[in-house]
Amino acid sequence: MRLPRSLLGQIIAANIVTLIGAALLVPLGSTVLLQRIAAHYQRFALEAQADGIADELGDSAAGVMPNGLGSAYANPFGGHFFAVLDDRGGVLIDGHEPKAILTHAGRTTRQAFFRDGDSYTLVSRANIHGRWLRIVTTHDMRSPGAITDDVVRDFVSVFLLILAPILILLMLCSMLLAHRTTAAIRAEASVADTIGPEMPARRVRADRLPSEVAPLAAAMNGALDRLENSVRSRNEFVGNVAHELRTPLATIKLGLDEVPDADLRHRLTRLVDRAGHVVAQLFELATLEQLDGALNEVFDLGEAAQTAVDGALPAIIARGDSVAFDACATPVRVWGRRELAVRAIANLIDNAVRHTPVETAITVAVGRGGSVTVADDGPGMASADIGHATERYWRKDHSRSDRAGLGLAIVKRVMSAMGGSLTIANRPEGGALITLKFPVGDHVRATKRDYATLHRHPGLDPGSSFFS
């Protein structure tokens, strides 16, 4: 038989097996024990009866059997019988002793105690006036006056009625305790399942788990601490490197104005701009990885989208593209962080500009349900590429050095931090369609719940260079 993998299932299976075993063995053992005790007392009573008969024979004259001995020790109603045999097995006194027992006792040469069916028999020897006699005493348990077996049977019956609910109650208590224990494990497992980039500081409470499981939880928390420290160190390193590269790139760009060759100056300027774009994306991503708390701001999504469109307008016009903005007549109140929302929408617009041909029409629309869509009439995305578009450092064209593959990854990280979502699809008429969904309405009040307490580090400073 194969045990279930579930701890609760194993405990239930063990309890069922134990219950069945106890239901079979406890009554059997109790019956055997009671019968042994009953036999012990039966032997004690028969020995006392045999001693009494021996005393009566000893007090009588030699060779003369006392009168009234049979009526004194033979009681058919009570199931008591006796017989006195000579040393050769001849019957001297017969107190209604069954013949089968007399025959068996006649062949017994020493003291014996045995049970034959429902009768207990004791054969003892006594020296009476220099003559060895065998005294046979029997108690038939089937007689109306014999109640020992009835007591045993009734006790076993009542004992079973008491034992069955006790065993069932014991099994239910064990199952309840096992369920409570495994419920604590399941609860902490659900906490562990929420640990991720949005809530990296959450940990499993080892003190709420059974002592057998607590070391595993403590080891997992230690591993998560080490992993979090490693990721934080990596992000700080990337952020510092990206920050240090900004000043040299800006200096190089200023120095390019002194290059006399216009064509060379133009090509070098483009290369510096591409490198600057990659460095900016790396810095943004490193900053976002340390984004925690203070994301409980309620703002107008339409106004944030308008700000993003206004910021991207010069680049759109310079490239020869066009942009249309469609906003709701009334404010759309969403929850999150306005600066982050502006940056996410701006990244989508920049993504549409960089990955489409010139003279592309871009549309930014704000929905009442807390959504922002950025669509274009470009070639769209291949179905096989949509699933990889938000992966970090993924690029369809690896020959392009101006793309780090971080644009949509940054947007996805921003939306995850604010409890929103990012959806990528293609328009039926052609072109890409990217949708951002922000928490809005009742969801704001249900999700807000002091988001900062779920994180360890302070939030971004709105005045930092991330928002510049």
Give residue 285's pLDDT band: very low, low, confident or very high (50, 70, 90).
Answer: low
Q: State the Cα angle at 326 between 325 and 328, rounded to 5°.
A: 140
Q: State which amino acid sits at residue 314.
A: P
CATH topology of 7-152 equal to that of 292-467? Answer: no
Give residue 8's pLDDT band: very low, low, confident or very high (50, 70, 90).
Answer: low
pLDDT of residue 238: 67
Report the run of H or E that residue 322 belongs to, with start and end. Answer: strand 322-326
Q: Which of 118, 131, 123, 117 lies closest to 103 in space, CA to CA?
A: 123
Rounded CA separation 451/294 (Å) = 7
pLDDT tens by residue, 323-344: 999 988 889 999 888 888 888 8
pLDDT of residue 372: 93
47 Cβ neighbours under 8 A, 6+ residues apart: 122, 124
Mean pLDDT in residue range 164-184: 79
Could you please state the CATH topology (level 3) that the domain comprising 197-290 is classified under.
Answer: Helix Hairpins (1.10.287)
Contact status, residue 408 vs residue 386, Cβ threshold 8 Å: no
DSSP, residue by residue, 328-388: -SS--EEEE-HHHHHHHHHHHHHHHHHTS-TT-EEEEEEETTTEEEEEESS----HHHHTT
Q: Does residue 448 have a pLDDT over 60?
A: no
Looking at every residue in the chain, the average pLDDT score rounds to 76
pLDDT of residue 447: 38
pLDDT tens by residue, 296-306: 678 999 999 99
**CA 165 to chain centroid:** 30
pLDDT of residue 155: 72
pLDDT of residue 402: 39
Q: Does residue 16 have a pLDDT over 90?
A: no
pLDDT of residue 246: 74
Reported CATH class of domain 7-152: alpha beta
3-state secondary structure at position 139: strand
**Domain edges within the chain:** 7-152, 197-290, 292-467
Give residue 33's pLDDT band: very low, low, confident or very high (50, 70, 90).
Answer: confident
Q: Does residue 366 have a pLDDT over 90?
A: yes
Give residue 375's pLDDT band: very low, low, confident or very high (50, 70, 90).
Answer: very high
Looking at residue 208, the DSSP 8-state letter turns out to be G
Q: Does residue 204 have a pLDDT over 80?
A: yes
Range of weakest confidence among 271-280, 290-299, 443-452, 454-463: 454-463
Q: Does residue 242 have a pLDDT over 80?
A: no
Give residue 174's pLDDT band: very low, low, confident or very high (50, 70, 90).
Answer: confident
> Percent of the chain scored above 70 by pLDDT?
76
Mean pLDDT in residue range 21-34: 78
The count of other CB atoms within 10 Å of the CB of residue 207 is 9
pLDDT of residue 374: 92
Q: Tell me which architecture the domain covering 292-467 has in CATH.
A: 2-Layer Sandwich (3.30)
Q: Does residue 395 have a pLDDT over 60?
A: no
Mean pLDDT in residue range 385-389: 59
Q: State which amino acid sits at residue 370.
A: G
pLDDT of residue 2: 66
pLDDT of residue 315: 87
pLDDT tens by residue, 92-140: 888 877 887 877 777 777 888 888 888 889 998 888 888 888 889 888 8
Q: Does residue 449 have a pLDDT over 70?
A: no
Q: Does residue 231 have a pLDDT over 90?
A: no
